[in-house]
Chains A and B, each alone.
Chain A
Amino acid sequence: MPETVNSDLWVDRYGDMMYRFTLVRVKNPDSAEEIVQVTLLAALQAKGSFQGRSTEKSWLFGILKHKILDHFRELKTQRTFELTPEDGSDPLENAYLPEGHWINLPKNWDTDPHKAAENRQLVEVLAKCMDKLSDKFRNIFVLKEIEGLASDEICKEMDIKPTNLWVILHRARHQLRKCLEMNHWDTKR
């Protein structure tokens, strides 16, 4: 039986879920709210094109993903995503001894990455750590690791040089792993 859409129920059925999905990506509650609204309005206009090939929910989330990317494109017009001196010095600059060894050795987390991802508490710590990144670093990390965009796509869409993309991603990942270590592994022992 093909599924039909029922726009009257969208907000109650999917509103909170869509809002949370968006909030993880854009951080700002007002923007997240607006993106949900824009998505549902776009869905309403495209209602006729819903083929019932997917569920109503995945159809709406598909539109939502596009609107989130539009939001990132819009952000780019306001502020560059490229690495600038304002992004501060490299947090890894003082992480090594002169001969190139670690000063504070990364710990053995002793976990399989995919098993770790089943730990709800840990996922929540990551969410908090992500909010401590600068907006630019957070946005690029989101595009890469959450949206799963290819590197060349990010460079093209956001006008970043590939070498700077690697730098931004490495700094973001380094800050996140440090934050996770401090707020999870260090508190366990």
Chain B
Amino acid sequence: MKSNTLMVKFLGWMIKWLKATCRDTTPLISEMMDHTLPLGKRLRVKFHLAICDVCGFYKKQLETVRALARKLGGEEAPTQQEAVLSEEAKSKIKDSLKQAS
């Protein structure tokens, strides 16, 4: 009897502890992308994501932002093809190379 009450209390405490809101979870979703969270926080995020699709979308969005940024940073990024050194800048750099060699 007594152990049952204790069990219920413990479960209630567990549920309260696990029941994080979107506001609590979103910063952790971002932080998880940068380092390993302590086990407790990790469990709270997992639990929340299991019951909240919208935060799942948020997580996927942040992962998409990361994937796009990596692409943008590549040596042959598919962007800003119009961004080129001006002829003036090119001759300036060529001159400085000539002088230095």
Contact = CB atoms under 8 A, between A and B. Distances in A.
Query: Which range holds the interface residue count of chain B?
Result: 35 or more
B21 A100 contact: yes
Nearest to B61: A177
B98 to A, nearest CB: 9
B75 A61 contact: yes
A100 B101 contact: no
Contacts of A8: 97
B34 to A, nearest CB: 5
Contacts of A120: 78-79
Contacts, number: 172
Nearest to A47: B101
Given A11-B94, A106-B54, A144 B22 contact: no
B93 A23 contact: no
Interface string B58-72: 101111111111111
B67 A114 contact: yes
A158 B85 CA distance: 29
B101 to A, nearest CB: 6
| B contact face: mostly helix, strand, loop, or mixed | helix
B46 interface: no
Q: Which of B66, B79, B92 has the most CB of A within 10 A?
A: B79
Interface string A157-189: 000000001110110011011001100000000
B57 A123 contact: no
B80 A24 contact: yes
B77 interface: yes
| A contact face: mostly helix, strand, loop, or mixed | helix
Query: Which range holds the interface residue count of chain A?
Result: 35 or more
Contacts of B58: 106, 177
Interface of B: 21-24, 26-27, 30-31, 33-35, 53-55, 57-58, 60-73, 75-81, 83-85, 89-90, 92-94, 96-97, 100-101
Interface of A: 7-8, 10-12, 15-17, 19-21, 23-25, 33, 36-37, 40-41, 44-45, 57, 61, 92, 95-96, 99-102, 105-109, 111, 113-114, 116-118, 120, 122-124, 126-127, 130, 141-142, 144-148, 151, 165-167, 169-170, 173-174, 176-177, 180-181
> Considering the complex of A and B, which 6 residue pairs feature the smallest CB-CB distances, nearest first?
A100-B21, A146-B73, A170-B30, A113-B67, A145-B69, A100-B23
